[in-house]
Each structure stands twice: as structure tokens, then as C-alpha cells.
Structure 1
Amino acid sequence: MSVEKNFVANSEWWAPTDFPVREMQRLAFLIDGRTTMLEMCHRFLSAKETIYIASWGLTPDMPMVRGKHHRAGEDGTPDQEVLLSWLRDKGMSESDLRFWQKCEVLSVVNVLGYAVAKGVDVRILLWDTLKVPFQAGRKQVKEALEAVGVQCVLDDSQLTIEHPIASLHQKAITVDGQIAFVGGIDLMTEADGDHDRWDTKGHVYNNILRTRKDGKLSYGWHDMHVTFEGPAVADVEANFCQRWNALHLRRDANFSEPLQPSSPEDQQPSNQVEKIQMQVVRTIPRNTYTFALEDGIATIMDVYQRAFARAQRSIYLENQYFWRRTYLGLETPLVSLPTEVMEQLFTSLAEALNRGVTVTMLLPDNPNVGRDFTDDGLKLLWERAPEAVAAGKLQVYTLASSLQQEETVYYRPIYIHAKIAIVDDQWVTIGSANLNNRGMRDDAEINVALYHPTMARGLRMLLLAEHLGLADEDTLFRVVQTMGRTDPSEHLQKMDSDLQQEWQRLEHLLGEPEAAMDLLIQQAQSNIQAVKERRVLSGHIVPYIRRDLAQEYDINVDAASGWLDHLNDKDTPLNEQSSDDISEEQSIEASAS
């Protein structure tokens, strides 16, 4: 596609430092944990040489594959044979398939242990933190992994006078130097089993596959990863090797076995496939690692600034935070510090609004910390672009699920953890970096930025179709599979007739950003009325309500936990009929055909 080739020559979109722009041969969007972990699991089991994982948190006994994707039926049954055929099409060997079938729980530790037993070199860099957010303490995680032969190193490089409360937040994986995963999803749950990163696209309220250890329901979790093949895999691997080597050299001056990344020259795409221009971008705080001591690396901030400056029509954002000030541990912006880099980013976003760009944002109603900081950031946009706000150019939403049992309707927030930006349906960034001081300056982060109009527009449509409830899981699953092939533009035109008809329907509803925005506005208004009348929601879109604007909605908003968590008198009892999302399970058969 000539537009992509022309784009490579235009340096105004790309960060000029750190890793270069690469021509990629395959890239697939992995929306939500179920799709992401399914892809990771079969890649781990099929690995031949290496698996390198850089992670913020990890729960060894967390099941990566659940329900009918693990076992669709008894041996020899049609459903099970369809599943096995689908996995074979993904390249799994017969021995790997036997493990898949016989392993009682495809947990992180079981899957990685199997890879080690095959002779794969599995290494993990795990953030070493004073306060442990994941299920087992960091030493217990390390011990559980090392018990099956994984080399797990606790990385405490952030524990300096300059960065005492920073984190090593990257979520990046390479397999055999040929396949990479980058995004917002860690293979983990929280300490009590809540905030389980594994979730379906339907975010079913009472999915018993996501039950906490205490028997209660885990919050829905919306997140995203991207997987790709091609020269940029070497850049993701180089990031891991740089961190691994710097950490070992700091601890042992005689360290003499540095890891060497694969070469990007070995992974050049064929001239016969459609190229996808992509750049790996990072935040590495200064004086954290020896490879970026003096100035650090801030190419994530750089590409965000460049994209916002070039936006002409639309900016779509999903993020966990939206802070202009530095959070210091107290839930009030009054006790905080100004953040220069975020002031710059907010200025760029306000300037885009003032020149007529439509900005749509999805933020969690109940972030783990700093909801008032997000409100503070939104207020600043209101103040700097009042005419744009009055014209409806800025729309902010959150996600919720609902369930009716007998006469009672229950509501819950869906935790938005994705870190996504789509500009003008052309440029995309996905990764680990939040829109706050930590993501842009103070934490170690990794994103990818790419330019491909077909895939950018398709991603926006897939996300909105999920959030608005416009397509079932079968359709979304199959379209994601299609977009993950080479030549995505051609494949989107060659779907089977049923899927093509569904995709055309979504294009009619969501293809134009302005029309899609109208649907978001309508559903948010309809759903806030449904809440007041105690009715089941349509889709998942509801307004994000700033606490200072709560009276306009006649809704009580808590400064720390928002409004959705306070609508129920008690937790919902489990409904055993919701053990899995049937429509998504049917996608196995559809995608195998």
C-alpha cells in the first residue's frame, strides 16, 4: 500500500531516537485477556529455543486457558476434534497437543515448566517491589518458577533515591526471537483473586470461570495486547536483553555472559506481503539502567505528542489514568506535584480539541488509585477547550456490566486497564504506558506505534462493537483472527459470506468516527436512564461522571471509587448458567473452517 510507504519517509510521526521504524509482516490485535492468553499459551507450548518475559506482576498458578478452549468435550467427540484441529492449524505439534489435553490446569507455571522440560530457555524479569500486588509474594513467585526450571530475576533497578516509588511496568514477551507480545496484560490476578486479567469480550457479570478464591465475583477486566512477527521483534528482545544485562552487571561486575538479541535483518518481510510500519517505543527513567543513565528514554511521550499535534479529525483513547499531576500516595490532587511532561501532553490534546478534533476517552470508574487525579485532568481540558466541550467534541465514558436476577438488577464497573490511542483512523499505539507521570517519565514502559489505516480503523470498530454490544463474541473473535494475518486489507475483503455481512454491518454503523460517536452518546444516555430505573444495560457504555458534576446526573460519586460500585446493596450470587460465554466457544469451529 503506497500510503504506508509514503508514511515511512515522513519523520514527523515517529520518534527519531532509540529503535527505528520497521516494516512488519504480521500483526494481530489481541483484545481482552482470553484471546491474549490463548495466543500466548499455544506460542509458549510450541517454543523451540527461548521465551523472554518482562512483567510487572505474575501469578504462577493462574490458568491461562479456561473453559471449552482448554477442553471442548470428551476425547473423540466432534467438539473436541474441532478444537484440536483449530490448534493444529495454529502450528501445535502432536506432543504439545497431548500436553494441552492431559494438563489439568494450563497455568502459567505448568505451561512454562513444560517449555523448560523441552529444552527451552525461559527467563523472566519480574519487578521487585516493596508492596506486593499479586497473589504470592515476589520471593514465592520466584521460587515457584525456579522449581520448574525457569530463570526468574527480581528486578529492583528502580529502587534509587531518584525513583523510590517507581515501578518496572513493561509487559513484553518474545518467543524464539520470532514472535513478540506487547501490551497492558500481565499474567496475574490480585492478592485475593480479584481483578483477574483473564476475561472474555462479553465481560459477563457472573462468569464462574472468574470467581475469586473467596467465592465472590471478580471485576470485569478490559485490556489489550498486540502480537507481531518481523524485524521489530528484535527490538522487543533487545529491550529485555538490555535490562537483563544491566541488572546482572550492577550486581556482579564480573558478569561475563550477556544475553544477545536476535538480529532484525534475519526477519525482513517478504516483498509479497503488505507491509505494516511499526516502531517500538519506551519510557526508561534516567539513572535506572546503565544503557540510559543520563537522559533516560522517552519515546512513548514523543510519539504521543507527535500524533496529537498531527490529529485532524479524531482521537480515541482508552487508558487506566488521566493525570496531569504526580500522585504521592494521597487521594487528593491538593497534595501532589505538577508534572511538566503531562502539562505538555494536556496542552497538545487541548490544542487538538480547539482546532476541531473530536476526542473520545474511556476511563475506569474505579481505578485502583487516583480517581480524583483523573477528574482534575479532565477539568483542565474543560478549561482549556471550553468551546469544543460545549460543541460536544470531548466525550468521556466508562464501562459497566449488569445482571437481572428475579426482581433485582445489579451493576458493576468493568475495569479499564487498556492503554490505547487511535488518531485519525490511521495511527495506533498500544502498550503498558498510562497517561500519567509514571507512564511518560517515571516507570519503565514499552509500547508499539504503528501506521496502517485499514488496521487502525478496524481496531476502533472492534473496540466500539464490543463496548456497544453490537456483535457477539463469535464475530469479534473471527474478525480478530482475520486481521491477524498478512495482507490484512485483502483478507478483510475475502471473509466468508456470513462474516463479511456482519463486518459490513459494523462498517455501516461504526465506519465513520462521527457516526460512531453518536452511537456512544445515545447508549450512554440510554444506560444512565436504565440505571435510574433499575433496568439491564444495553452494551457496556455509561458516562464517566466527574465528582464535581455528579449533581447534573443525580448520582452519588465517591472521590476514590466512583459511582457504579455503590449501586448494589450486596454482591450478586453466582449463576451457574454463566459458566462460559457460549457464543465465543462457537468461534472455535468457525475459525477452524
Structure 2
Amino acid sequence: MTYLLPELPTSVGCSVTPLIDGAEHSAAIREALESVGPDGFVYLTGWWLGLGRGGFELLPNGDARLTEAPPYCVDPWPEGEPFVDPANEESALVKLLAARIAAGAEVRALGWVSASAVRHPRATKLGGAAHVTAINTLTLRSLRELRAVGAEALPSTIGHLAGSSHSKLMLISDGRNTVGFTGGLDLELSRWSRPDHHGKQIWHDVVARVQGPAVQGFYDHFRTLWEASRSGRPQNLPLDNARFVSVPASTTSLPPRAVPISATEGSQSVQNLRTLPATKYPWYVPTRPTSLPEANVFEYRDALRHAIGQAQRYVYLEDPLMWSGEVMTWVRDAVRRAPDLRVILLTAGVDDPNDPPLPHPEYFCQTVNHALLAGLDDTEQARISAYRRRGVVVHAKTVLVDDEWACIGSCNLAQRSLYTDIEHGIAFTGGVPAYREKLWSHHLGTTPAGALPAWLDAWPTAKPLDRVALPVDEVPFSARQRRRYQDFHDPDSRQWRVRIL
């Protein structure tokens, strides 16, 4: 039995270190940057780049107001963290990158920007997405800061009209070895948290630090996005009463190359997982392609479906959305097939404060009651449990199967992540039990003694968790809500079209 997808390339001899929450992630970034010199490089891409104190807050009228700091960030800021230097409120990460540039290193950055959102904020607000304009503005400010210190920095305006460039990836090389980071955590101030989630530190996330041959896939993915962004027609994007040129004339190409990798790294096997959306779709003008060189790449979907299909002991899904009925049907089928299989779902105890109100109860009801539990008898349903992490934004996107396979990345359990947004992550084998113990002890608030059954049995009584009664209370789901779900909140690029609502 193989849990890795046979059709995908597999990199052996890798080392994967799961990093839980922002404090561990930022410390690993700082450590990796320290050795970068004239032969090195740093490449990063994110859905939201927030490299300073700027933030925003959502207003009751649906607007989003830019602020000096995120309203729920840590204050005072811990000295030495690589996002903000509290002495002068400058971005410490930008300063670290500036020092690497001064030492001769190459630094490139991509940040997702919807050109229509920053050009037409009023229309974006009417569509319920004022937060996108605010996030894109903060990303453009970060790109401007990076350009000021000598980095090449581009807004990533590529992709599907209903999607985004959602990869959160960083690649750091000292010229002799390269380390990659991929996961759910944006380089943004309010995402930082220690594992105890004390006070305003409400954000939980997971990032994989990867070394070994698999980092070549990180480079290839970043290069795909860089070249697609660079080759687009330059745009003048509005920013703080001025214009931000999307692609300066001095922007250089990123050639195909083999990244430097240490001869011996580890014993784990890794697959790079991507989502690259369909390039043509119905619209009110003739269909047009995106600028991506590849399309209909749904490796994340295929890897998830295959691994869940192999499950015998447990499937653990941790995600803020849980919107994909398709994923839940794979889990349901696994429960029917494997009589001893246990299923655990973990999602957020509080909503992401950066998002406008979303119909989470309606979507969760459709996913759980009408996909996951549909057709299961009482005995089968009893092997499925769901929890919320009390007071914490569970933003991680990770799945574990049987202590044999795990994935970490930017892909939510939602149709938009499987088919429409640009995503990146990894699947790996080897070291999964250690990852499971680290992650679960973080949520359980304790470290159970014993083997896997003891850990599975600890979930119902864990103090940091609220158990969700299954099936959940039925919530009406109108035809209008279904259209909005399909067209805007969770679109599928293979069949997307906008209708008058």
C-alpha cells in the first residue's frame, strides 16, 4: 500500500520539520537568513504580505479601514521577532532582507493583488470584498518597501478571475544548500502567535520547513509564478494617492536551474502539490486564458483523494473552512470501507477577524450533514467526531492519514483551493507519528501516554476543545445562497460563471 500519489514525482532523502504557529516559524526564518551571503538568494510569495505595522479593521457598513496596526495584534511586540522592530516600528524582516541584499544576495518577492479590487474599491465593497482591497493595499506597500531596499518585488495579478494566488512559500539559499517553507501562514503581523495563544495571540497555523531534493519543486513553482507575473502587461496600480508600476522595466527573468542542495538531508519522502486553475471559463466577454503556462493542475486534489482512499486507522483534517463536499465524500467512503477507521475534524473556534461575515454554519451543514454523514448508519457515524479550538483561529491546512502520510500547505478543504486558487504545499511520508504527537498535544493541552489509541481517545475530553454535535443543526440553504457559494465564496474554475444574483 502506498499513500503517496504514484503519478507524482517523489523526492527521497528529504527532511521535513513541521513548524507550529508564528513564533516557531519566524525563528526558523531568521535562522535560515543568517547564513545567506553573496551566492545566496531569498524568494517569497504570499497571499498577503504585511511587513510593517499597518493593518485594517472591518466596519459595520461593510467597508474596511486601514489602521496603524491590526486591532488584535500582540502589543508590545516581542523584540527580535522578524516582522516588526518595536524600537522604530519598521519591518524587521525588510531590514533583514536589506542586509542580505547589501551582502550580495538576490531577493525576489511576489504578493497577490487583484487589480480590480485596488482600482475599483467601491464596486469591490458592494460585492462584499472590501477586505480584499485593504489586504491588497497593504501588500503593495510591502512590495514598495522591498523595492526601496533593492529587492525585485512584483504584484502577482495572475490567475483566475474568481480566485487568487494563495501560495505562501519562502525559499532561502546560502549558495550551498536551500531550505523551503510552505504552509498556511502569511508574512503578516497579526498572524504571529506563541503556542499558548495568550491574550490576543489567537492565530494557529502550520508551516513545513523542507530540506533536500524536494526544494527544487519550490523553486520551479516560484519561477512559474514569477515569469507569469513578469511577462504580463505593466499596470499602474493606485497606491496612497500615487501609482505603483506592477512590472518595472528593470525586472529580470528567473531562468530554470537546479538549486543547491546538501548531499545528505534526511530520510523522508516528499511530493510537491499544486493547484493551477483552468485557464478558460465562461464570462460576460469571450473566454480568455490566464497568463499561467500550465492549467488544470489539481495535484492537491489528487493527492488528498488517494491518501484518504488508503486510510485504515484514522483520517485527521484540520482546516478553517471544511467547505468541500467532494472531500467529505472521500472520507465517508473510507469510513464505509474500513470498519476500524476513526475520523477527526478540527476547525476554528472563532472566525478570522480579517474576513467579512460568511455563512459558515450553512456551508458546514451542507458539507457535514449532506456529504460526510449521508447514508452512514449510527455505528459508522459514531466513528466521526468534530471539534472547535476554543478562542483560536485555526488557520492551518493539514491532513494526516494513519500515521503514514501527511500534507501541509496553503490549500483549504474547499473547492476554490482544489480548483481555482493557485496553491502550493507538500505531502510527505516518514516522521508522521512525531508530527501527529507535536500537533495533537498542542490542541489537546496534554501529551497522552501510550500508542495511537490513547491519543485518539483523548480528544473527547480535551479542555481546549469544544466538541461539535453531529449531525449539526440543519440550516436552510436557499438557491440564492447556493449560487453565491458556487460563484463567489467557493468557485470551481472548471465550470465557473457569474450569474445575476
Which residue in 2 is equivalent to 1:467? 443
Q: Tell me what 2:195 maps to.
A: 201
Q: Which residue of 1 aligns with 2:454?
A: 515
Q: CA deviation at 1:299?
A: 0.5
SS at match of 1:290: coil
Match of 1:542 among 450, 466, 473: 466
Q: Residues 62-81 of structure 1, C-alpha deviation per residue, up to 9 Å, x if partnerless?
A: 59999998469xxxxxxxxx
| Corresponding residue of 1:291 | 293
Alignment TM-score, normalising by the size of structure 2: 0.73
Is residue 204–residue 394 contact of structure 2 (8 Å, CA) maintained in 1? yes
Residues 15 and 302 in structure 1, CA contact (< 8 A), matched pair in contact too: no
In the TM superposition, what is the alpha-carbon distance from 1:25 to its structure 2 partner? 3.6
Partner of 1:238: 220
Contact 1:238–1:260 (8 Å) recurs in 2 = no
1:128 aligned onto 2:69: no
Q: 1:258 is matched with which residue: 253, 259, 271?
A: 253
State the match for 2:128 in structure 1: none
* Residues 547-587 of structure 1: per-residue CA shift (max 9 Å, x gap): 95399xxxxxxxxxxxxxxxxxxxxxxxxxxxxxxxxxxxx
Match of 1:60 in 2: 51
The equivalent of 2:167 in structure 1 is 170
- 8 Å CA contact 2:14, 2:267 repeated in 1: yes
| Equivalent position SS for 2:366 | helix
Asked if the contact 2:365/2:473 (under 8 Å) is kept, the reply is no
Matches within 5 A, 1:431-442: 431-442=409-420
* Offset, 1:242: 1.2
> How many Å apart are 1:395 and its aligned residue?
0.7
Q: 2:99 corresponds to which letter in structure 1?
A: Y
Q: Does 1:360 align with 2:344?
A: yes
SS across alignment from 1:263:
coil
Give the CA deviation at 1:397: 0.5
Write the distance in 2 (CA, Å) between the matches of 1:117 and 1:268.
25
- Residues 260, 385 of structure 1: alpha-carbon distance in 2 compared, 3 angstrom cutoff: farther
What's the CA shift string for 1:160-216, capped at 9, x where partnerless? Answer: xxx322111000110126110011100114xxxxxx211011111x2xxxxxxxxxx
Seen in structure 2, the aligned counterparts of structure 1 residues 227 and 138 have a Cα distance that, compared at 3 Å, is closer
Out of 100, 110, 131, the position equivalent to 2:95 is 110
Measured at CA, do residues 508 and 139 of structure 1 come closer, stay the same or move farther in structure 2, by a change above 3 Å? closer
| Number of aligned residue pairs | 403
Matches within 5 A, 1:352-391: 352-354=334-336, 355-356=338-339, 357-367=341-351, 368=355, 369-371=358-360, 372-380=362-370, 381-390=372-381
Q: In the alignment, residue 290 of structure 1 is paired with which amino acid? A: L
Give per-residue Cα distances to partners, 1:399-450, cap 9 Å, x unaligned: 12xxxxxxxxxxxx20000011110011010000000011110100001000
How far is the alpha carbon of 1:302 from its aligned partner?
0.5
Where in structure 2 are the equivalents of 1:16-165 lying within 5 Å?
A: 16-17=7-8, 20-48=9-37, 49-61=40-52, 70=79, 107-129=92-114, 130=117, 131-134=132-135, 136-158=137-159, 163-165=160-162
1:456 has 2:446 as partner: no
Provide the residue aligned with 1:301 in structure 2: 301
Q: What residue in structure 1 maps to residue 387 of structure 2? A: 397
Correspondence for 2:311: 311
Q: Distance in 2 between matches of 1:15 and 1:141?
A: 40
SS of the equivalent of 2:232 reads helix
Contact residue 56 and residue 127 of structure 1 kept, 8 A = yes
Shift of 1:23: 1.2
List runs of 5+ in structure 1 lacking aligned partners: 1-6, 73-95, 190-195, 207-217, 325-341, 401-412, 471-505, 524-537, 552-593
SS at match of 1:251: coil
| CA distance in structure 2 between the aligned counterparts of 1:297 and 1:436, rounded to whole angstroms | 16
Deviation at 1:545, TM superposition (A): 5.6
1:132/1:104 Cα in 2 relative to 1: closer, same or farther (>3 Å)? closer
Tell me, yes or no, if the aligned pair for 1:220 and 1:414 is still in contact at 8 Å.
yes
CA contact (8 A) 1:44 1:175 kept: yes
SS in 2 for 1:267: coil
CA separation in 1, counterparts of 2:251 and 2:459?
56
- For residues 79 and 411 of structure 2, the distance between their equivalents in structure 1, rounded to whole angstroms, comes to 31
C-alpha distance in 2, partners of 1:122/1:255?
14
Q: Aligned partners of 1:219 and 1:375: how far apart in 2?
A: 29
Shift of 1:102: 9.5
Q: Which residue of 2 aligns with 1:475?
A: none
Q: For 2:400, what is the secondary structure of its paired residue?
A: strand
Partners of 1:426 and 1:168 in 2: how far apart? Answer: 30
Tell me the amino acid that sits aligned with residue 436 of structure 2: R
Q: Kindly indicate whether the alpha-carbon contact (under 8 Å) linking 1:109 and 1:145 is maintained by their aligned counterparts in 2.
A: yes
Q: 1:111 to 1:274 in 2, by over 3 A?
A: closer
Confirm or deny that 1:226 pairs with 2:180: no
- Decide whether the 8 Å contact of 1:21 with 1:277 is kept in 2: yes
Cα deviation, residue 291, structure 1: 2.0
Are 1:388 and 1:394, in contact at CA under 8 Å, matched by a contact in 2? Answer: no
The Cα of 1:365 is off from its aligned counterpart by: 3.2
C-alpha distance after superposition, 1:460-503 (max 9, x if no partner):
11112111212xxxxxxxxxxxxxxxxxxxxxxxxxxxxxxxxx
Instruction: Confirm or deny: 8 A CA contact 1:375 1:546 kept in the other structure.
Output: no
Give, in whole Å, the separation in 2 of the partners of 1:61 and 1:256. Answer: 24
Shift of 1:383: 2.0
- Whole-angstrom CA distance in 2 between matches of 1:111 and 1:547: 50
Offset, 1:353: 1.5
Task: Tell me which amino acid in the other structure corresponds to 1:347.
Answer: T
Structure 1 residues 545, 23: closer, same or farther in 2, change over 3 A? same
Q: Is the 8 A contact 1:37 1:65 kept in 2?
A: no
Residue type of the alignment partner of 1:263: A
1:460-499 matches, cutoff 5 A: 460-470=436-446
**Contact residue 311 and residue 423 of structure 1 kept, 8 A:** yes
- Structure 1 pair 268/346, CA: closer, same or farther in 2 (3 Å)? same
**TM-score, normalised with respect to structure 1:** 0.62
Q: Secondary structure at the match of 2:255?
A: coil
Q: Sort the Cα spacing of 1:106 and 1:139 in 2 relative to 1 into closer, same or farther, 3 A.
A: closer
Give the distance between the partners of 1:71 and 1:50, measured in 2 at CA: 22
Shift of 1:110: 2.2
Distance 2:88 2:214 in 1: 33
Q: Which amino acid aligns with 1:429?
A: C
Q: Corresponding residue for 1:212? A: none
The 1:66/1:269 distance shift into structure 2, 3 A limit, reads farther
